Amino acid sequence: MEPILWEWINAVARWLHVITAIAWIGSSFYFIHLDASLRRRTGAPAGTAGDAWQIHGGGFYHMTKYMVAPPQLPEDLTWFKWESYATWISGFFLMCVLYYRGADLFLIDQDVMALAPWQAIAASVGALALGWVAYDRMCKSPLGRNDAALAAAGFVLLVATAWAMTRVFSGRGAMLQMGALMATMMAANVFLLIIPNQRKTVAAMLRGETPDPALGRQAKQRSLHNNYLTLPVVFLMIANHYPLVTSTRFNWVMVALVLVVGASIRHFFNSQHAGKGSPWWTWGVAAAGMLAAAWLSSFGPALPAGGTAAALPTRVSFTQVEEIVLSRCSMCHAAEPVWEGIATPPRGVVLDGEAAIRRHATEIRLQAGLSRAMPPANITQITPDERAILAAWSGDTTR
């Protein structure tokens, strides 16, 4: 009964997380678009930044943005915050269910760093908190006055952290950790900066004072960061389904590439919505970035510390492959797995004999030969030579 219950907790948490993320990203994209499409018109009321006309669902909308605040506070003011909070809470819950509860399989790789589950969990939570503190300090430092310099420093911080995470966690754990770290920065921007600043603005108005325009500027800067982080975060969240992304040697460089690709695509839309033209070159950058990531993934799995590269064998016999799979994979990938805590064959993949192994040839190569996604945490200690054999095997040979 217990595995069934956990499976459903997992499914429902993921469903909720995807829904809240759609709501958050949707409202965020909407406001970024709205902000960019505001136009100054002659005769606009004093203190306004511009207005925009929109048509949707059979009606016309006329939106006006006030630079600091309107002269009078409206009675019914809509706040946007629960989309963000609910996304973070459901995401963190899902991370606990999958990556903390299953830390020994999904977060830890004994060849990368020998950690006990509690140590890996502490490192993960600690990195989330530290990441936010470092980023927040950076924004509030003199660097924060120059958007371009801040972006460059933020990029270096994220890529360096990605490298560090791949030295602590499994590839899959490290990539998810980076997604969670950026998402935490985004949600904390809303929770600890944007909403408090908006509260201060409203409170000042209720006291009959003019709110400090710096509060709005600061919030706008964080909102801009959230905008540019959105696409890379979504990529990192789905990356765990792609062994070539999470579990090859240069996975941390892919974080850098995805940051550049995501930001350049956002730049295209930001520029288009602002009526500043369509910078088509950004799609060239995006394509080049993804091609570079694909090329990097062809370098294969990272080596265990102190290990040397195994030469790809030119001839591989099926007997060799079968031996490796039966000794390194079948304890979990069997009709009745013998691995404790795994009740049914993971993802329905049963690798218990020649026919099954041949049927899953491509997946076996991707998961265990060309990357080190399987076995999880390299728990059955497959060697680099064995991986090389799986990588060189092309499944359809009759040998």
Among 224, 374, 388, 392, binds ligand HEC (CB under 6 A): 374
> Smallest distance, Å, CB 332 to ligand HEC?
3
Tokens of 115: 């950690």
Among 170, 251, 367, 371, binds ligand HEC (CB under 6 A): 367
Tokens of 229: 């982080």
13 near ligand HEC (CB under 6 A): no
Q: Is 168 exposed, middle or buried (0-12, 13-18, 19+ CB in 10 A)?
A: buried
> Smallest distance, Å, CB 317 to ligand HEC?
17
* Residue 13 vs residues 10, 57, 64, 351: alpha-carbon distances, Å: 5, 31, 38, 29
241 near ligand HEC (CB under 6 A): yes
* Footprint of ligand HEC on 79-138 (CB under 6 A): 105
178 sits in the region (left: phi over 0; alpha: psi -120 to 50; else beta) called alpha
Among 237, 333, 372, 392, binds ligand HEC (CB under 6 A): 333
Between 69 and 390, CB nearer to ligand HEC:
390
Nearest to 228 by CA among 194, 262, 181: 262
Q: Which residues of 53-84 are buried (b: 16+ CB within 10 A; e: fewer)?
A: eeeeeeeeeeeeeeebbeeeeeeeeeebeebb
User: Which residues 6+ apart lie within 8 Å of 395 measured at CB?
Assistant: 358, 361, 362, 364, 365
**With CB under 6 A as the contact rule, which of the stretches 56-64, 82-90, 157-165, 324-332 interacts with ligand HEC?**
324-332
Q: For the chain, what is the largest distance between any 2 Cα atoms, rounded to a whole number of angstroms?
A: 84
Q: Is 306 exposed, middle or buried (0-12, 13-18, 19+ CB in 10 A)?
A: exposed
331 near ligand HEC (CB under 6 A): yes
Among 349, 352, 358, 383, binds ligand HEC (CB under 6 A): 349
164 near ligand HEC (CB under 6 A): no
> Smallest distance, Å, CB 50 to ligand HEC?
47
Q: Which amino acid is at 389?
A: I
Q: Which amino acid is at 17?
A: H
Among 128, 244, 329, 350, binds ligand HEC (CB under 6 A): 329
Distance between CA atoms of residues 263 and 279, nearest Å: 13
Among 225, 266, 328, 372, binds ligand HEC (CB under 6 A): 328
Distance between CA atoms of residues 240 and 204, nearest Å: 46
> Smallest distance, Å, CB 200 to ligand HEC?
44
How many residues make contact with ligand HEC (CB under 6 A)? 24
CA 341, distance to chain mean position in Å, is: 27
332 near ligand HEC (CB under 6 A): yes
Among 70, 144, 346, 395, binds ligand HEC (CB under 6 A): 346
375 near ligand HEC (CB under 6 A): yes
190 near ligand HEC (CB under 6 A): no
Q: Which amino acid is at 166?
A: T
Residue 255 contacts residue 178 (beta carbons within 8 Å) = yes
Q: Which amino acid is at 353?
A: G
Between 51 and 363, CB nearer to ligand HEC:
363
Distance between CA atoms of residues 209 and 108, nearest Å: 54
Between 223 and 330, CB nearer to ligand HEC:
330
Between 50 and 346, CB nearer to ligand HEC:
346
Between 150 and 368, CB nearer to ligand HEC:
368
318 near ligand HEC (CB under 6 A): no
Interacting residues toward ligand HEC by CB under 6 A: 105, 241, 325, 328-329, 331-333, 339, 342, 346-347, 349, 360, 363-364, 367-368, 374-376, 379-380, 382
